[in-house]
Amino acid sequence: MPNTQIASDFLVIGGGIAGLSFALKAAAIGNVAVLAKAGSADANTSYAQGGIASVWSVDDSFESHIEDTLKAGAGLCNRAAVEAIVRDGPEVVRDLIRLGTRFTRVPEGNEHEYDLGREGGHSHRRVLHAQDLTGQEIMRALWEKVRARPNITFYDENLAIDLLIANRGRTGARCWGAYALDRRTGAIRKFLAPFTLLATGGAGKVYLYTTNPDIASGDGVAMAYRAGVPIGNMEFYQFHPTCLYHPEAKSFLISEALRGEGAILKLPNGDPFMKRYSADAELAPRDIVARAIDAEMKRLGLDCVYLDLSHRGADFIRRRFPNIYTRCAALGIDITREPIPVVPAAHYMCGGVVTDLHARTAVSGLYAAGEVAMTGLHGANRLASNSLLEAAVMARRAYLDIAEQISAGPPAAPPDFSAWNPGRAIRSDERVLVTQSWDEIRRLMWNYVGIVRSDRRLERARRRLALLREEIHSYYWDHLIDSDLIELRNLVVVAELIVRSAICRTESRGLHYNVDHPATDDEHWLHDTIVRE
């Protein structure tokens, strides 16, 4: 009889920088179970190219980083969150260095001096990077330490289904872990723990075109929403301006750092166009750059625009961007001599599970860190390379808060949650219903709830998603579940949350642009959009 219950002191759902950073710290005081849908290489963190933003140079200051973040957030940042996370930045960077992360150093400079990049919206060079493979390098360092800790058990190919909540919807509601599907065997088990960290990343797969890996289906947000946790600011989905446009280049990001190093956006005839949209040109915040590209593509009927760094010289380009150079070269594009075809793509979820500055949610025992969470750092638009910063800082803050609680006394024993019961569900013999719904959601979101929105498009999306949710709900409970069905169930929840939030916000601000309400309305909308089940 297989074991249907696994107990630990801490449950981490997600295997990126937030989840593994927390696991390493928590392992000092207890046993940790880490659930990951796939291997560490598929975490959103591994896809991060640009770097981690932190005040590091003597020429920089906390005040400057704070102001840059507030400006990018278009009036919706929580200043307390911005100040706390920015000021914690150097310490978490030192943590990553102590763990073995090898950030790029200044060529032929002081052996202790790091090469700091500058990206859109930043007033100073403050982005520590590992060439253009920062996420992979951070994950390498974290993963080496995780494997060396005997009290961290990593359950890859395990997909969380729903959170285990006692007293749901009442005073004293508490999370005690989650049900999870072993994607290899089909077994569903209870993972019990008095403290659970959601670190599931974003939801880029809700859109047709995205820079995210295939596993980014918004599972953490959907599970928290079903558990009664408030979700905030889902209308603010960041579209990265530059994703490689090529039929063989699925989801390949062209880093913000290229524009930080002088790359110029051009039309097919070679004309630059960004100065017509912003005095900051290519270094404008991402929402402005993405909308400018979208506008030019629609105005001229283009499939893409072009990003040109060839004027910086071949040696510099190959040294600074070896990953991008190699990937493009494999597709027949020599970025040292010709521009890169690019299009915008869904990139980062600025909203999410509402937390405080200790990563606590509204349900006791449930924490959230990283892209899945809404701390107030990003507001209406994320400043480039603040994402890895937030994930590392909030994982650390979650650990410190939990450690303090444990020092005051051990948590109570968990209630008796029943084993997973499939009821009368049967195996599906019509998988086309799942694939059709998946495709419809993603196309609908891209066409109606993308970079530019309108009241009519949003209302159409709302009506169609309501029908899809009913169809998916019925199918979910009638059939034995697998990972595709779980992700589809979560995807339609996230899509509806984005649409509901976008309909509520009758203005344009940051990443949310509605042609029927093009002005920013500080009198009525200088606050967050919070939705509950």
Q: Which residue has the higher pLDDT, 357 or 251?
A: 357
> Does residue 323 register a pLDDT over 60?
yes
Please state the φ and ψ torsions of residue 267, each to the nearest 5 degrees. Answer: -80, 170
- Tell me which of 1.10.10.10, 1.10.760.10, 1.10.1200.10, 3.50.50.60 is the CATH number of domain 5-235+350-407: 3.50.50.60
- Assigned CATH for 432-518: 1.20.58.100
For the beta carbon of residue 151, count every other beta carbon within 10 angstroms.
16
Cβ pair 89, 389 in contact under 8 A? yes
Check whether 229 has a pLDDT greater than 80: yes
pLDDT tens across 123-153, in order? 999 999 998 788 899 999 999 999 999 999 9
List residues bridging with 7 in a β-sheet: 192
Q: What is the 3-state secondary structure (H, E, C) of 114-157?
A: ECEECCCCCCCCCEECCCCCHHHHHHHHHHHHHHCCCCEEEEEC
Asked if residue 103 has pLDDT above 50, the reply is yes
C-alpha closest to that of 515 among 506, 523, 528, 527: 506
pLDDT reported for residue 40: 60
Residue type, 260: G
List pLDDT tens digits, range 83-102.
999 999 999 999 999 999 99
- Which whole number is the average pLDDT over 178-206? 95
Average pLDDT, the chain: 92
| Distance of alpha carbon 211 from alpha carbon 230, whole angstroms | 27
* Per-residue pLDDT, 1: 38
Task: Dump pLDDT digits (tens) for 272-285.
Answer: 999 999 999 998 88
Under CATH, which architecture does the 241-347 domain have? Alpha-Beta Complex (3.90)
By CB atoms closer than 10 A (0-12, 13-18, 19+), residue 410 is: exposed
Question: Can you tell me whether residue 10 is helix, strand or coil?
Answer: strand
Count, residues in the chain: 533
Higher pLDDT, 62 or 431: 62
* pLDDT over 90 (residue 390): yes
For residue 330, give Cα distances in angstroms to 49, 248, 324, 327. 18, 10, 10, 5
Flag whether pLDDT at 111 surpasses 60: no
Residues with a catalytic annotation lie at 286
Residues whose CB is less than 8 angstroms from the CB of residue 319 and which lie 6 or more positions away in sequence, other chains included: 107, 131
Domain locations in the chain?
5-235+350-407, 241-347, 432-518
> Kind and range of the H or E element at 469?
helix 455-478
Residues 6 or more apart from 326 whose CB is under 8 A from it?
Answer: none
Mean pLDDT of 117-124: 86
Query: What is the arithmetic mean of pLDDT over 269-274?
Result: 97
